[in-house]
Each structure stands twice: as C-alpha cells, then as structure tokens.
Amino acid sequence: MKKKIIILGSTGSIGTNTIEVIEKNKRDFQIVGITAGKNVKLLAEQAKKIKPKYIGIADKRNVEWFTKNYDEKENYLLFSGENGLKEIIEECEADLVINGLVGAVGLIPTLKALERRIPVALANKETMVIGGEMVSELAKKNKTEIFPVDSEHSAIWQCLIGESIEDIKRIILTASGGPFFEKDFEELDCVTVEEALNHPNWKMGKKITVDSSTMMNKGFEVIEARWLFGIPAEKIEIIIHPQSIIHSMVEFMDGSVKAQMGFPDMRIPIQYALTFPKRENAQWNRLDFDKINELTFLSPDLKKFPCISLAYKSLEMGGTMPAVLNAANETAVSLFLEKKIRFTHIPIAIEKAINEHKAVKNPNLKDLLESDQWARNYVKEIFV
C-alpha cells in the first residue's frame, strides 16, 4: 500500500523538493493533497501532474484564477481562506503530513494533524518555536510521531538512533554562518536585501534565508531541538561550520561524538523523513572526500548576531515569549524584505518586543495566538 501524503506549502522550496523526492519513489508514496499561499500558477501546474484529491489555497482572491485554469475532470476538494489549512487536515485521508509552510501559519495544521494522530514530517520550525511544548506533549499523548526535516534536526535524530537521551552530554548544532559571517559588526548596518538573500550553501525560501543571515535561524533551531528531543537549552550549543558538510553532532557522556554528514541538499533529510526507518537509494550529489580540503569550526560571534542570545533568552523566559520572538522576527524580516527597515533593525525590534511583553506561563493556544498578534502590531508600530 502506498503512503498517502499531504504537502502543506507544496509551492515552496521544501514543497517542490518533496515533490521531486516523491516522484523518484512513486512505488511507495502517493501525494493526495497540496497547498499554496499565493503561487496558484505553480499550484495548478503541480495539480495537473499530481491530480490530488485535496487542494488548498490560502488567499481566497486566487481561487477564481485557479478554478478557471485547472479544469480537470478529476474530482477534487478545494479548501481556501484563513481556515483552509486547518480544514484540509481535518478532512483529509492521509498517512503523513509534510509541513513545508513558512511562518506561524504552520502551527495549527501541525496541531490538527497530531490531534488526528497523523504523523508530521516537520520542516516548519516556527511550529516548534511558538508552541514547542504544546506540540511535543500532544505528539506524546497521541503517540504520533514528528519526523524532523530540518537538516540539523535530521542529523541529531540520526545520531540518536540506538542511544538514550540520558547519555547526551550536549547537542552541537552546526551553522554555515550565513552570508555575513566574515563581515565586521559595523558593516552590517548597510547590507542590502540582495546580499542577505545570497546564502553561500543553501537555496531556500526568502524568509529562512534572511533568518540565516541574522542567525535567528540557528536560534530557532535551538528552540526546535529543545522540544523535538526533550533536551534543556544549556545542553544545546551552536558552532559555525562554514562548509555545511556536518549537519550537526551529539556528544555523549563518555566523550564520544557522533556527527551526521552529507552533501548540503535538502532532498536527503526530506527523503529520510519519508522513508524512515528505511533508507532508499538516491541519485543526487554525494560527498567527495578528495575534494573536501578542510572542515573548520568557530564559535559564533554573539555581538554581531544578537538574535542567537535573544532566542536563548526567550526560551529561558518561556511561556508566550518564544511566540513573541517568532512573530516579532517575522514582522521585522517582512519589513526588511520590503526595504522599509535596515538589517540591524531586525534584532532591535525583536529585543524591544521581548522586553515589552509579559510572558503568560503555561499558555494555551489562544494565549500563543494573542501574543503572536500583539508582537506583530508592536513591531509595526515601532517603525511607523
């Protein structure tokens, strides 16, 4: 029997890579649902090839264009608008949800899938930043698995197979350092959007690429690792590894360190999340050790990249604070991409939001969503 897959965010970088991986493994998987935000042209192309039963379009204004241009005879169910993603998960018949959405919008579909005991292959790290505790508790309660897709968390997951959590001394998250790793602190004030989008090793969506340039992405990954693996923040460290060959490491009590390596290609962790516990053959690039001259490691510069400390701080403060961290960051990154604020304004806005917010302890979903909305409004107001 083929595994039935829903891809949330099928038009994005993770989504299109997932479709490619599944096309190479057609024997085992069938895509039954795809969703887009705005890119309905690509969604229609994907739908013509895949003929999914469930289709989601976030922006209702795009539905008319889509239905005119996708006049397939096949029956399909269309979900749209604010509740579209939630409804698609509530109604679909699926064995696995791939969450390739970007931003806070990924939280509710993850929760819905886990409520229905549908396992989730999770790329949407914002889910774990905002609601990590709630999400991991629900997964545990419903005995439903979350398979990490982020390359670092896939690496840690692979290093932990056969190991016991109590034996972990520390988790070492590797970071490429992003495009500004060699710049001086003073130079960051005038970097451009185009420079921030020029990631040295990975081709990804715009938001995560900017997050990599501020290193907020690594801060988010600390929070993600905290909840995915149940490891306290003080045991999670970041190291700059510019070659992006080692995707992360785990050090154990006895001094032994396990690392997972591979060519920097998201199709590898995506395929592993789909085929786990099996591995499938793949044709993509492999590491050629004759061509790797060196593997280097450096400590991150916390003064140059304050987002790292802000992420640790929000995790320590807990409750609704990581949701504020995330929403303040999302809003500031959008403003930066629209060229309305400077690069260095991003951490300033986040810090102000964190200092201003009174964290609600043991938050429910409503508290998390209200704090998210508060932080978005707050950051917009700073820059009016």
Ligand X SMILES: NC(=O)c1ccc[n+]([C@@H]2O[C@H](COP(=O)([O-])OP(=O)(O)OC[C@H]3O[C@@H](n4cnc5c(N)ncnc54)[C@H](OP(=O)(O)O)[C@@H]3O)[C@@H](O)[C@H]2O)c1
Is 204 a binding residue for ligand X by CB under 6 A? The answer is yes
CB of 244 to ligand X, least distance (A): 11
CB of 17 to ligand X, least distance (A): 7
Cα separation of 198 and 190, whole Å? 15
| Sequence-separated (6 or more) residues with CB below 8 Å from residue 332 | 341, 345, 346, 349, 350, 379
Cα separation of 65 and 177, whole Å? 41
Which segment (8-16, 89-97, 184-192, 307-315) binds ligand X by CB under 6 A?
A: 8-16
CB of 362 to ligand X, least distance (A): 25
CB of 122 to ligand X, least distance (A): 8
Do 29 and 54 meet the contact criterion of CB atoms below 8 Å apart?
A: no
φ and ψ at residue 133, rounded to 5 degrees: -65, -45
Per-residue H/E/C for 223-278: HHHHHHHCCCHHHEEEEECCCCCEEEEEEECCCCEEEEECCCCCHHHHHHHHHCCC
Scanning residues 302 to 331, which ones bind ligand X (CB under 6 A)? none
In 222-237, which positions are buried (b, 16+ CB within 10 angstroms) versus exposed (e)?
Answer: bbbbbbbbebeeebbe
User: What x/- string results for residues 228 through 267 when contact with ligand X is judged by CB under 6 A?
Assistant: --------------------------------------x-
Could you say which of 33, 52, 100, 178 contacts ligand X (CB under 6 A)? 100
Which segment (70-78, 96-104, 165-173, 343-351) binds ligand X by CB under 6 A?
A: 96-104
Scanning residues 34 to 93, which ones bind ligand X (CB under 6 A)? 36-39, 58
Binding footprint of ligand X, residue count (CB under 6 A)? 27
Is 105 a binding residue for ligand X by CB under 6 A? The answer is yes
Identity of the residue, 57 or 249, whose beta carbon is nearer to ligand X in the bound complex:
57
Which segment (70-78, 166-174, 188-196, 197-205) binds ligand X by CB under 6 A?
A: 197-205
C-alpha to C-alpha distances, 258 to 65, 120, 156, 157, 272, nearest whole angstrom: 50, 26, 9, 11, 18
User: What x/- string results for residues 262 through 291 when contact with ligand X is judged by CB under 6 A?
Assistant: ----x-------------------------
Identity of the residue, 103 or 131, whose beta carbon is nearer to ligand X in the bound complex:
103
Could you say which of 22, 50, 97, 102 contacts ligand X (CB under 6 A)? 102
In 358-376, which positions are buried (b, 16+ CB within 10 angstroms) versus exposed (e)?
Answer: ebbeebeeebbbebbebbb
Cα 165 → chain centroid? 23
Joined together, the tokens standing for residue 184 give 């001086």
Is 150 a binding residue for ligand X by CB under 6 A? The answer is yes
Could you say which of 6, 11, 236, 250 contacts ligand X (CB under 6 A)? 11
Residues that bind ligand X (CB under 6 A): 9, 11-15, 36-39, 58, 100-103, 105, 123-126, 150, 202, 204-205, 207-208, 266
